[in-house]
Amino acid sequence: MIYHFQGGAKVAHHKHRTEGKPIEALPMPSRLFVHIHQNMGAPSKPVVAVGDEIQKGQLIAEPTAFVSVPIHAPTSGKVVAIETHPHPSMGKGTAIVIEPDGKETWVKGKPEQLDFRAMTRDQILTRIRDGGLVGLGGATFPTHVKLTPPANTPVRTVILNGAECEPYLTSDDALMRTRAEDMVTGLEIILKALGATESYIGIEDNKPEAIAALSQAAKRLQGCRVVVLRSRYPQGAERSMIKAILGKWLPGGKLPMALGVVVQNVTTAACITDAVVRGIPLIERVVTVTGSAVNQPKNVRVLVGTTWADLLRFCGGTTSDLSRLVAGGPMMGVAQSSFDTPIVKASGGLLALSKRDIAVPPVGPCLRCGNCLEACPMGLAPFAFPTYVRERDWQGAKRANALHCVECGSCEYSCPANRPIVHSVRVLKKAIAEADAKAKAAKMETKAGVGAA
């Protein structure tokens, strides 16, 4: 049986360029640019200075809040600068620049194999936090926070998310085929950390080898079910995953915990095993480098801090008709303005697209066809959002739940008139936040005035 959610879009897939290829390791770059802000929440604070000799796995930036994570040296070498540098999703940010010494000397005290079954829940969470783990499906939410539900919100069910529904990306697929055992161990660790008893692994039906590998590995985990999902975008969104597997609808504005569920990406699960069992922090990842404008598309194992330029060089460079670089997938990725931008923990892909890939047909008036209504996995009325922008009706947009939009792009993809719906939603979200902040400030001023009187 193949499970599915409501809505979504049947997007054209371009996974063939890297699908089934082995993961290749990138040779050591001459410089690494390690950003201190790589997670949702607060940035970290550097604890090294220019001139310091550092070792692989050493803490180089410490968390500054509960919703923050430590950053570790991806290799041994020397800190040569701490400076402003392009960031793949934030424009610019502070990066610790490392000149590798090529020795790959691990920091002292890195533990060998540990048994997570002998650990307490707190010990597991501490190791996950100390490993600097964030959600690697793109959300970058600190993993230790996600695995710490409030006392009155017990979690019963864990879903490992192996959908990888973005049309070009295959890095999760490559890891599912090669690290299925570690993913299942990661799932066991998550279950123990949460005290949860029920588990599923959801994978789209276009990844038969991954389904076979995880089904085999999951045999040892009692009650764990590998669920084959219809390949439809955005199957990988948490809400779509929960709807398809559990048949439950998560209302907008609520977290999966409200239903007693936690969803974790499969690659995050493998990295949890690295951190908890092997003491290896999150310092490298697999990135899909693909698109019609890259000469040798590959899945590449790279150190965090490696630049797009180094990655593209390893993939044979780009063709002369390169028109756009995108970090992530084409549906939710971010256009890049510099080859010097480094990968961060959440960088699952780099697309080099040609003019032909990004040709945008002209925008027309809404045809009232209803395609966007059918496509929206959140049950919204996407056709109305450009109108709210035109009429500057922020309160109307709020009542229409614009804030619940997950910016998946399914509506825009399905729209025959090419209406700029996702851009409109972003404008609305910003305007609503500004209007709310103004209203709050005015309320506080009034209160202060009353108090003073």
Site residues (vs ligand SF4, CB under 6 A): 366-372, 375-376, 378, 380, 382-383, 405-411, 414-417, 419, 421-422, 425
Q: Which is nearer to ligand SF4, 64 or 387 (CB)?
A: 387
Nearer to ligand SF4, 264 or 410 (CB): 410
Do residues 133 and 144 make contact, with C-beta atoms less than 8 angstroms apart? yes
CB 88 within 8 A of CB 327: yes
Report the residue number, 213 or 372, with the smaller CB distance to ligand SF4: 372
CA 102 from centroid of its chain's CA atoms: 30
Q: What is the residue whose two structure tokens read 């290799």?
A: 75
Q: How far is the CB of 376 from ligand SF4 (least distance, A)?
A: 3
Which C-beta is closer to ligand SF4: that of 67 or that of 366? 366
Which residue has tokens 């949702």?
40
Distance separating the N- and C-terminal Cα atoms of the chain: 69
| E strands, 27-135, in order | 32-35, 45-46, 53-54, 59-62, 71-72, 77-87, 91-100
CA angle 48, 52, 57 (to 5 degrees): 65
Helix axis angle, 266-278 relative to 121-130, nearest 10°?
110
Query: Which string of DSSP letters, residue by residue, matches 93-130?
Result: EEEEEEEE-S--PBPTT------GGGS-HHHHHHHHHH
Q: Which is nearer to ligand SF4, 325 or 405 (CB)?
A: 405
Nearer to ligand SF4, 72 or 419 (CB): 419
Cβ closest to ligand SF4, residue 88 vs residue 382: 382
- Map residue 208 onto helix, strand or coil: helix
Smallest distance, Å, CB 380 to ligand SF4? 5
Q: How far is the CB of 232 from ligand SF4 (least distance, A)?
A: 12
Nearer to ligand SF4, 176 or 415 (CB): 415
Structure tokens at 45: 């604070």
To the nearest whole angstrom, how small is the minimum distance from the Cβ of residue 10 to ligand SF4? 13
Both structure tokens of 404: 């619940």
DSSP assignment letter at 164: -
Shortest CB 271 distance to ligand SF4, Å: 28
Which residues, listed in sequence order, are joined to residue 349 by a DSSP beta bridge?
288
Q: How far is the CB of 254 from ligand SF4 (least distance, A)?
A: 15
Task: Sheet containing 32-35: give its strands across.
Answer: 32-35, 91-100, 77-87, 53-54
Q: What is the DSSP-derived secondary structure letter of residue 3? A: B
Taking the complex as a whole, the smallest distance from the CB of residue 410 to ligand SF4 amounts, in Å, to 4
Distance of alpha carbon 290 from alpha carbon 315, whole angstroms: 9
Least Å from the CB of residue 429 to ligand SF4 = 10
Least distance from ligand SF4 to the Cβ atom of residue 19, Å? 26
Compare residues 296 and 401 and give the one whose CB is closer to ligand SF4.
Answer: 401
Phi then psi for 256, rounded to 5 degrees? -50, -30
